[in-house]
Amino acid sequence: MTSTPPRCTLLKGRKRTPLHVKPQRASAAPMDMDWNLIVGFLLGIVASGIAAIVYERATSPLVEITLDDRPIALGQYPGLPPLAFYHVRIRNLPVRWPFASRKPAWSSKATIEVFNLNGTRTIAEAIHARWPSQPEPVTPTVAGDQSINLVDFARLMNARKVDIHSHEDEYIALAVKYEGQPECFIFSNESYLHGAWSNPAWRLNSGEYRVLITVFYERGHAQRAFSLANLRTARNSVEIDYASA
């Protein structure tokens, strides 16, 4: 008897489909979030830098040189004719809203230059200006039975500079004139080295002059020209005004 192999019966109506595993798509949300953080961080740095630059420029010192609107400083000293001192005003301009205050102009120095009306120099060198708010460059002492003042060179150098604050004006000493004398003299710290504060090299005879004032301060300088008319002998007769262009 011959054995018959078993028949394999195919089930009709069923189709075998290979099993495929669908790969999961990686979420882009974390990557997008990382880029948003980076961009936001960079924009914050840029905005902070711009704000710092705007603040620095808005609050930096800004110096202006103007006429002295106070009464002329008249004086009388023993052994000297009545005299008058002349000044110009130096301002650190107020800051604009919304900032609270402007930074001081630290260690400001100034020079005085004097010219004839034809443009030639009346005084050869630029003169280091004196700030009257600084102590006089002298040290009181006694010689025998007399009290005298000796020039203190350390004070003389220190009196060449001052801090200019926006809430308080400063002044530069410009000239001194004695009653009844036709000439006047540029006045500064070195004037204390000469009798009656009258340096012969800084003498201005009767006439008209152009005076250039320059103030040097941190990160900048200010400059302005004035006219000086010394035409009469009265101590209060010197006329100072803004120079024409």
Is there a domain that residue 6 lies in?
Answer: no
The DSSP bridge pattern shows strands 203-204 and 184-186 to be: antiparallel
- Nearest 5°: CA angle at 215, between 213 and 220? 135
| In a domain? residue 1 | no
Quick one: pLDDT band at residue 47, thresholds 50, 70, 90?
low
Q: Is the pLDDT of residue 155 over 60?
A: yes
Q: Does residue 99 form part of some domain?
A: yes
Structural domain of 199 = 63-242
229 in a structural domain: yes
Q: Is pLDDT of 186 > 90?
A: yes
First to last CA, the chain: 138
Query: Looking at the domain assignment, is residue 101 inside a domain?
Result: yes
- Does residue 178 form part of some domain? yes
Is the pLDDT score of 1 beyond 50?
no
The pTM of this model reads: 0.78
